[in-house]
Chains A and B, each alone.
Chain A
């Protein structure tokens, strides 16, 4: 593995290996604190994403490495019209690894074809965001202790949510995983993804009712239902509350169920849920740093 462009670039064994390293980092952080001494990571963020960028930067600093880069296209040569190919050819001379977020879909793949150092896709438009999926996987493993025999509820905007699509593609490779797709009719998962599930013989159901689905879930992956996704205001107002998770709705859930959310949250999980042990989304954000540390080590070939 030289680059991480899509989660499907990783075999199940490679994912297991990354998770094992991340778990070891969590247990023994001191052991890893100088692993990347003298190494530099370039963070090329052609569109802003504070959370993802800080997570990568923190990961590199905790490995003893250094970080250089920019956090918006205006402060880079892209604003002068430089191509992605040229940018990464040049940055390859200055850094040992490149993390890239770009508004255009496929930009990190173009980068990987031109750079001489590893490329990590930190999000390309609405397309891929593999390190979010790795974060979700590490969280599922740490919270549930397994990837198989799980019923996973995906709630909210399943049509446009790229984190949901990647998570489905990553989790459907494990045994006896069932999906419950909970969304308004306007925001159902895309046909191509449904076809992939059918072709692979993976069980899934679709519903508009979060409360009804709740008792059978092992994991509830929440996403935000955005106002601008609706065709009309009346539908939005009618539906918006049905996809808000409250502690009252959680009463029907299993005691060991876990709630995940890629964050940022707006109002789709009410604040009173945060204190529930089942709310795993802040632990999930913390895991994001550790899995990125594991990924940086792997791509740099640091033992």
Chain B
């Protein structure tokens, strides 16, 4: 199957096979009117199978969300058909309105207009805690 090379834009590579639609939704790529290709189950030496998303426009993606969802994803920046930058992601220190606190006793369950904020408290195990009630959301709970 052939998918056109992109000229100026981004390639999100090394997405776990089958997870590309989730990432498409979290990054709200449906709002773009440029060409977006979702390629599923591509053979990969490293991963066996992987997904790739190609975006044919120079946009800024929220690398914090992406890093939280899967720090193994790489972001390739393409300019004039050439790879000019390969960004490796990390777990972000804080994520805003990505994870929702499930603790019914947390103030986020009642207070209007309060942002859902989680902070990384244990990098080795990827554990995030609600900044208000300190309830745990294990990393990767979105996928």
Whether A104 contacts B109 by the Cβ 8 Å rule is: yes
Interface size class of A (residues with CB under 8 A): 10 to 19
- Whether a CB of chain A sits under 8 angstroms from the CB of B106 is yes
- Whether a CB of chain B sits under 8 angstroms from the CB of A109 is yes
Looking at chain B's contact residues, the main secondary structure is: loop
Q: Which residues of A contact B107 (CB under 8 A)?
A: 84, 102, 104-107, 109-110, 124
Whether B106 contacts A85 by the Cβ 8 Å rule is: no
A-B contact count (CB 8 A): 48
Pick the contact of A106 from B112, B132, B136 — CB < 8 Å?
B132
Whether B110 contacts A106 by the Cβ 8 Å rule is: no
C-beta contact mask, B105-119 vs A, less than 8 Å → 1, else 0? 111111111100000
Q: Which residues of A contact B93 (CB under 8 A)?
A: none
Q: Which residues of A contact B23 (CB under 8 A)?
A: none
Whether B113 contacts A106 by the Cβ 8 Å rule is: no
Q: A84-B107, A104-B105, A105-B106 are in contact. Are A110 and B132 (CB under 8 A)?
A: yes
- Whether a CB of chain B sits under 8 angstroms from the CB of A125 is yes
- Whether a CB of chain A sits under 8 angstroms from the CB of B85 is no
A38 to B114, CA, bound (A): 34
Q: Which residues of B contact A267 (CB under 8 A)?
A: none
- Whether a CB of chain A sits under 8 angstroms from the CB of B99 is no
Q: Which residues of A contact B136 (CB under 8 A)?
A: 192
Pick the contact of A127 from B113, B114, B133 — CB < 8 Å?
B133
Whether B113 contacts A83 by the Cβ 8 Å rule is: yes
Q: A83-B113, A84-B111, A110-B114 are in contact. Are A105 and B131 (CB under 8 A)?
A: no
- Whether a CB of chain B sits under 8 angstroms from the CB of A29 is no
A103 to B105, CA, bound (A): 8
Q: Which of chain B's residues 94-137 have a Cβ closer than 8 Å to chain A?
A: 103, 105-114, 130-134, 136
Q: Which residues of B contact A104 (CB under 8 A)?
A: 105-107, 109-111
Whether B132 contacts A125 by the Cβ 8 Å rule is: no
A125 to B105, CA, bound (A): 7
Q: Which residues of A contact B110 (CB under 8 A)?
A: 104
Q: Which residues of B contact A103 (CB under 8 A)?
A: 105
Q: Which residues of A contact B109 (CB under 8 A)?
A: 104
A124 to B107, CA, bound (A): 9
Q: Which residues of B contact A109 (CB under 8 A)?
A: 107, 131-132
A interface residues with partner B (beta carbon < 8 Å): 83-85, 102-107, 109-110, 124-127, 192
| Given A104-B111, A105-B133, 16 other A-B residues pairs in contact with their CB atoms under 8 A | A83-B111, A84-B111, A85-B111, A102-B107, A104-B109, A106-B130, A106-B131, A106-B133, A107-B107, A107-B111, A109-B107, A109-B131, A110-B107, A110-B114, A124-B107, A127-B105
